[in-house]
Amino acid sequence: KEKINIFRKQHRITVHGADIPDPIESFSDLKRFKVSQTLLKNLQGNSYEEPTPIQMQAIPILIQQRELLACAPTGSGKTLSFILPLLHHLKEPKKFGLRAVVVSPTRELAQQIHREFVRMNEGLGLKIHVLTKAKASTIANSKTNHFDILVATPNRLVHLLQQDPPALQLSSVEWLVLDEGDKLFEEGDAGFRDQVAAIFQACDNPQIRHTLFSATLANNVEEWSKLHLDNVIRINIGARNA
């Protein structure tokens, strides 16, 4: 335990919560969670050689299916921190309907997340879509929901949910990831609190796991996670929090 605390300190990882999984030191540590050779190969193929601090701590937490509030600066590698555990858990395409939703405040960021998913999905064959205007009608009309992961902005997703009848079913969603939490929960018109609330509510599978990533630990972000995340673990990278 002492060794782990020293390791966390070295990488400026602060954690709060109960029964926190140990961080990984390298991507090869993922073998102990039976992460597939395909995923490990895709890490190498994308020149992800060593995990960043947020990845060291967030990946084992999400692999063990804990709910998480993760705060780490822009550019610190938050995207892979949720992509890798999601691909690990979803494993292969299934036709049970949508199994993971990632919400991002802007289209540009949603596209970036989608591209990183696609690169890491090589050889896995999961069906991953980004909800663009052009694709909205295809996604809404695909009665059998032949896709596994959807990356979307709050407005476009809520637009589908609020059609009568809803153009999208989220009851099969096992993972809801909220990215850029500080932007999503911004006060006033800039924020997406109502939209996130509608999405959260539509994901009504009792087995669902929620996770929230943010560049800063804004008050809104912390409040939301206290109210909505179950037995939450909080990670802060970098600046020490009071």
Shortest distance, position 51 Cβ to ligand ADP, whole Å: 5
Stretch that binds ligand ADP, among 28-36, 50-58, 122-130, 158-166 (CB under 6 A): 50-58
Span 64-123, contacts to ligand ADP by CB under 6 A: 72, 74-80
Two structure tokens written together for 7: 């390791």
For position 17 contacting ligand ADP by CB under 6 A, the verdict is no
Give the rounded distance of the alpha carbon of 169 from its chain centre: 19
Two structure tokens written together for 82: 């949720």
Cα distance between residue 228 and residue 242, in whole Å: 22
For position 78 contacting Mg ion by CB under 5 A, the verdict is yes
- The smaller minimum CB distance to ligand ADP, of residues 14 and 205, is found at 14
- The smaller minimum CB distance to ligand ADP, of residues 76 and 132, is found at 76
- The smaller minimum CB distance to ligand ADP, of residues 36 and 112, is found at 112
Cα distance between residue 44 and residue 38, in whole Å: 10
Phi, psi angles (nearest 5°) of residue 143: -60, -35
Q: Which of 8, 48, 176, 209 binds ligand ADP (CB under 6 A)?
A: 48
Please report, for residues 109, 119, 151, 241, the alpha-carbon distance to residue 116 in angstroms, rounded to integers and kept in the order given: 11, 5, 11, 30
Residues in the site for ligand ADP, rule: CB under 6 A? 48, 50-52, 55, 72, 74-80
